[in-house]
Structure 1
Amino acid sequence: MAFRYGVIEGLYDQQNQWSWEARDAYVSFCTQKGFDFYIYAPKDDPYLREQWDQPWPESTFEAIKALGLKLQQSNVRFGMGLTPFNVRELNRENRQQLKEKIASINQLNPQILCILFDDFSNEVDCLARVQTEIAEFIAAESSAEQFIVVGTYYSKDPLLQRVYGAMPENYWSDLGQSLDSRFDIFWTGDHVISLGYDQTSLQEMTDHFRRKPFLWDNYPVNDTDWLKNRLRLYTFTGRPWQLSDWCSGHAVNPMIQPWLSMIPLATLSDLYQQKGQFDGHASFKSAARNLCGIELAAAIEENLICFTEEGTLNFSDFTRNRLKKTFSKFQSEAEQPFVREILSWLKQ
């Protein structure tokens, strides 16, 4: 399958959930920017994680179904991410529960199904083999056309081993060997939130996985406690266009703020389309103007350091009030989604 890039909604923040209006806005955004897919995988949807064995409320189910249909009608592939939380083996009970869950997901008709073993402990022997068995069981029940797995250890970041214990010896190689080649494998890089990627590190994981890694890129993510005070609005850096040769795909995880996330996400499209001609700063300026309008874009650029580097925790009352006054004056319908997010962020 050819290299493809798109969006994965992986927000992990119960207090800052995306609205269905925002998700609908991503249908046209992905279409306009040439994104191949949109994967619905918010970690604050309990029916994809801790309560995966329970059905969605009817209103939520219908909203997901409508989103998927809109995406597919716009030629953007629709994906979902399921975390079989606390399934440590396949027994009679959870096999039946998984069958029922996948039957429900099949009604939503995703073209991509992600099977996510991240962010919960898997204290079992032969971890890679067990996860492979679970993934293959789910895939056998699914009508999706593409499957992507996230392992428990999805990065070289020592944080994962501090939280989940020591990684089993040869885990990455065992996962790559046991998983059928039809599965892609997500990888966030040397860190959970990586500053960039290089060919040497990605080739190492290609050797382990026996296939090119599929990037789960946690930029411009800001849902961690140490990043909530920043708006990561700037262009993608540290990501050469040659990733399209080194990886099987590239999924980017946005911020708490869906509309403001569109600014950096738009630059990813430019990166892959312009390749060696890509100018990151010019791309940022163009994306901001096209999305926000000339005047609001200029105000965002003028205060970019405040958003991306200084952050609300370091603002003086003077700076906070100045920014509030600056952005409150933008009142047009097109400007308002972006301005509301800025003003809400300033209240932190």
Structure 2
Amino acid sequence: MNQKLFLFIALFSMITNTALAQNTNYTIFPAPQKINFSEGKLSTDTPYQLQGDFKLKPNSLVLLNEMFNTKSANKALPIIITSLKSSDKNLNVSGAYTLKITPQSIEICVSDNRATFYALQTLTQLKKDKTLPLVDITDFPDVLSRGSVEGFYGTPWSHEDRISQFKFYGALKLNTYIYGPKDDPYHSSPNWRKPYPTENAKQIKELVQEAKNNEIDFTWAIHPGLDIQWNKTDSLAILNKFEGMYDLGVRSFAVFFDDISGEGTKAEKQAQLLNYIQSQFIEKKKDVLPLIMCPTEYNKSWSNPKPDTYLDILGDKLHPSIHVMWTGDRVIDDVSKDDLNWINKRIKRKAYIWWNFPVSDYVRDHLLMGAAYGLDTTIKTDLSGFVSNPMERAEASKLALFSVALYSWNLKNYEPMSAWHEAAKYVMPEAAVAFQLFNEHNSDLGPNGHGYRRVESVAIKPTIESFLASYKDGNYSAELASKIKTEFESIVPVSEEIRSKSKNRNLIKEIDPWLTQFNLLGKVGVETILFLGAKQAENKALAWNSYLKMEALLDSIQIINKTFNQNPYQPGVKTGSLVLMPFVKTIFDQAQNYFIPTNGNFEKNSTTALINNTEKLKNQPLQLNNSSVAISPILEVINLKPQEFIGIHIDKSLKAKEFYFNLESNTLLENGVFETSTDGLTWEALKVEQKKGKGILKAVAHGIKYIRFKNNATDVKSFFLKEFKIGVEAENKNTDQTVYIQDYSITTYLALKDKENATVPLSINKQTKTISVLVQNTNKAFEIYQINKRDKKSSIYKGAENFIVIPAKQLKKATALEINSNGNTDFKIYEILEN
């Protein structure tokens, strides 16, 4: 087992908080570096009197005025704020402060205005019932730049989202926000050269001011690499854009060269441009922070390992004050000391970490609500900054950003499980327990091209695994089943509790489809255990009713999945996808063997699969439904080496109808070719009409089971894989649905409308003892008739059951059965079986 994962699971039940080690009555987030409580309290029901040599900014005065009763007639409390002077280098950084509360006064020493704001935020958290504890705190940040980079693909955060984020950051001592949403056309192509429209500019100006109010460095990033020309005109265009942003109040800037191909990727040209910006803009402005850049090779797996290549060129040629961002060994990865040692040597400076969590733009059908783990706590001296790339769901992202705040302020005391549980209480205090349970089962990403996974359903997973192992061997553990049922029962009310109690309506709006899905998951899980219990008791009628309820709930889950969050990349709504839903599906799929144990002609596992011969794409998942098979779109640039390919193989049960593709590139078919095959061995070129890599083939030749794109060039071919989809249908479609009644499968059925009937031929073996009729009705009586060879029919059953058993001796002369729906509006006949 992966060591990090093992340690994480081992720590699951350790809910500790080092900040509270001495006094569990007070919570401080993030945990101060040093804290000592004394006996006694100080009243805040009093005015205050400022003393000392440090003048407060308006944002700090607001905090003070909210904390103390300025209208009280009591004697004013001295609050002495002075400049911090210390030989300790940790206290000579922005944000460092000391705080001492005595019965007579509050003494605060600060390194700068930001430190004053942070000291007062700590005071705010300590205040309880109009009192403060007597305490002595020494505090400073381990990482100088801490916060988020809005660098995801998809819908950018709204203005309201960002304002809410900044207030959240200020309270938790996060000091960095980098503006870089990929789908903002004025940040990237095509409009990065143009100024923002008036309304957008006004909002940015408001954001800058709100960031200042919360002691946040608002960094505006430009992403010019998709179409930049290495000439004076474009260099000046960037300076002019930066100048315009400076006029809006921006004092921190970044240039992103990520996820591009072609001319824009040249390290020498990038370094030359960045040094030009450094000398002509950064150094000429006396109040601008160091420039930040995101390189094209921003992770180890994409980097050229050879010396004197891209990263080494940046390290040698870039001005030493320019920060270089880094995601880790891969695009999506944990943060390790070994990785930082590797990159820091190449770029000749401390890397600025861009942590791609909880960003979900490559798994948009999932919410990433799990713990923020996999972060090395020994790298304080190895990095220059740490920012998290969040989800497009701003409020939901606060769960992970809370942990980022705790981690980046105090690395050595960071404990991911404790932070995660505290985050649930902080983000949703009105329904913290329900929210925590929701988060526990909405943590994993599902299969994805980056191969990055998170633990999920940790507490119940061992129980489910033990139950399934025993069940596979033919044993049924009532004790384990009861524990699993209890877990599902606890899930059922969670969604309603969150919706009814939480005051954060924007958060509810963001996660609402998942709340609906979570409720359905709880219900289908309970019904799954009831099915197993009925099966164990050998009560087929009861088991069949549970099966029908499971099927209906799973159908509802599919409706939600196909109705909400219908983005073009990973559409749908997934919940409990790592442990709980697979458990339900396993039992549901195996129900066939219980009701029809003698049939060996079930649907075999599909052989539909991704085909490719490149290591980087081996984990890319497919998206399958009844009408198509597609490669999940990839956000980053695809670089196929000579003779490399990517494509799809469809199962023999499927017929290829159409082919849709969008491999965005102006030169896709220059020594690149689409190919088809019937057997995967012999390939033929496929002629397609396309524009900039996009096209549709409306009729695929009969028998084709493989379609791929191959690079026949002698050098790398680059493109964006936005669509690669084969339209499909069943190879052999039955038009007469009455065959489904006797096809030995409960996955198919014949649906009857109001007052319709179905006639089924009947030929009973001498060994047959009973006939079972498996239906679904709407609790309205229906009727079954037997028909003899003279076409005379007589009623043999009338009722509203779903599982009907008829003795074979009653059917000795029957040649057919007629089933009449008798007004049932949703009547389904699944199977007629001989027993």
Q: Report what 2:327 is aligned to.
A: 188
**C-alpha displacement at 1:46, in angstroms?**
0.7
> Which amino acid letter does the alignment assign opposite residue 156 of structure 1?
K
Unpaired runs of at least 5, structure 1? 314-321
**C-alpha displacement at 1:69, in angstroms?**
1.1
The 5 A counterparts of 1:171-320 are 171-194=310-333, 196-224=334-362, 227-295=363-431, 297-309=432-444
Count of matched residue positions in the alignment of Structure 1 and Structure 2: 330
Q: Report what 2:676 is aligned to.
A: none
- Paired residues of 2:350 and 2:382 also in contact (CA < 8 A): yes
> Which amino acid letter does the alignment assign opposite residue 505 of structure 2?
Q
**C-alpha displacement at 1:210, in angstroms?**
0.6
Q: Percent identity?
A: 23
**Aligned counterparts of 2:447 and 2:317: Cα–Cα separation in 1:** 46
TM-score computed with the length of structure 1 as normaliser? 0.86
> Which amino acid letter does the alignment assign opposite residue 94 of structure 1?
D
Does residue 105 (structure 1) correspond to residue 105 (structure 2)? The answer is: no
**C-alpha displacement at 1:278, in angstroms?**
2.7
**Aligned counterparts of 2:374 and 2:408: Cα–Cα separation in 1:** 13
**C-alpha displacement at 1:312, in angstroms?**
12
Does residue 149 (structure 1) correspond to residue 293 (structure 2)? The answer is: yes
Secondary structure of 1:34 counterpart: coil
- Paired residues of 1:214 and 1:248 also in contact (CA < 8 A): yes
> Which amino acid letter does the alignment assign opposite residue 327 of structure 1?
S
The 5 A counterparts of 1:55-204 are 55-86=195-226, 88-123=228-263, 127-139=266-278, 140-142=280-282, 143=285, 144-158=288-302, 170-194=309-333, 196-204=334-342
**C-alpha displacement at 1:78, in angstroms?**
1.0
Q: Report what 2:38 is aligned to.
A: none
**Aligned counterparts of 2:309 and 2:228: Cα–Cα separation in 1:** 19
Inter-CA distance 138–310: structure 2 relative to 1 (3 Å threshold): closer
**C-alpha displacement at 1:275, in angstroms?**
3.4
> Which amino acid letter does the alignment assign opposite residue 307 of structure 1?
N
Does residue 5 (structure 1) correspond to residue 146 (structure 2)? The answer is: yes
**Aligned counterparts of 1:221 and 1:189: Cα–Cα separation in 2:** 15
**Aligned counterparts of 1:37 and 1:244: Cα–Cα separation in 2:** 17
The 10-residue stretch of structure 1 (332-341 or 211-220) with the greater mean CA deviation from structure 2: 332-341
> Which amino acid letter does the alignment assign opposite residue 103 of structure 1?
E
**C-alpha displacement at 1:95, in angstroms?**
3.2
- Paired residues of 2:156 and 2:184 also in contact (CA < 8 A): no
Inter-CA distance 3–289: structure 2 relative to 1 (3 Å threshold): same
Structure with higher Rg: it is 2
- Paired residues of 1:328 and 1:339 also in contact (CA < 8 A): no
Secondary structure of 1:30 counterpart: helix
- Paired residues of 1:102 and 1:138 also in contact (CA < 8 A): no
- Paired residues of 1:81 and 1:113 also in contact (CA < 8 A): yes
Q: Report what 2:734 is aligned to.
A: none
**Aligned counterparts of 2:262 and 2:403: Cα–Cα separation in 1:** 37
**Aligned counterparts of 1:149 and 1:310: Cα–Cα separation in 2:** 28
- Paired residues of 2:147 and 2:404 also in contact (CA < 8 A): no
**C-alpha displacement at 1:64, in angstroms?**
0.9
- Paired residues of 1:9 and 1:41 also in contact (CA < 8 A): yes
Residue in structure 1 matching 2:495, options 320, 327, 346: 327
Residue in structure 2 matching 1:340, options 509, 516, 526: 509
Inter-CA distance 82–279: structure 2 relative to 1 (3 Å threshold): same
CA shift digits 1:119-175 (9 cap, x unpaired): 1114369x21100111122332354322111111111234x88xxxx9996211111
- Paired residues of 2:301 and 2:329 also in contact (CA < 8 A): yes
**C-alpha displacement at 1:187, in angstroms?**
0.5
CA shift digits 1:193-238 (9 cap, x unpaired): 11x12212211111101101100111111011xx112211222211
TM-score computed with the length of structure 2 as normaliser? 0.37
**C-alpha displacement at 1:32, in angstroms?**
0.7
**C-alpha displacement at 1:323, in angstroms?**
7.2
**Aligned counterparts of 1:285 and 1:94: Cα–Cα separation in 2:** 49
**C-alpha displacement at 1:325, in angstroms?**
6.7
**C-alpha displacement at 1:334, in angstroms?**
2.1
**C-alpha displacement at 1:90, in angstroms?**
3.4
> Which amino acid letter does the alignment assign opposite residue 335 of structure 2?
Y
- Paired residues of 2:170 and 2:214 also in contact (CA < 8 A): yes
> Which amino acid letter does the alignment assign opposite residue 106 of structure 1?
Y
Inter-CA distance 45–61: structure 2 relative to 1 (3 Å threshold): same
Secondary structure of 1:110 counterpart: coil
- Paired residues of 1:118 and 1:150 also in contact (CA < 8 A): yes
Computed over aligned residues only, the root mean square deviation of the Cα atoms, in angstroms, reads: 2.8
- Paired residues of 1:236 and 1:268 also in contact (CA < 8 A): yes
Higher strand share: 2
Higher helix share: 1
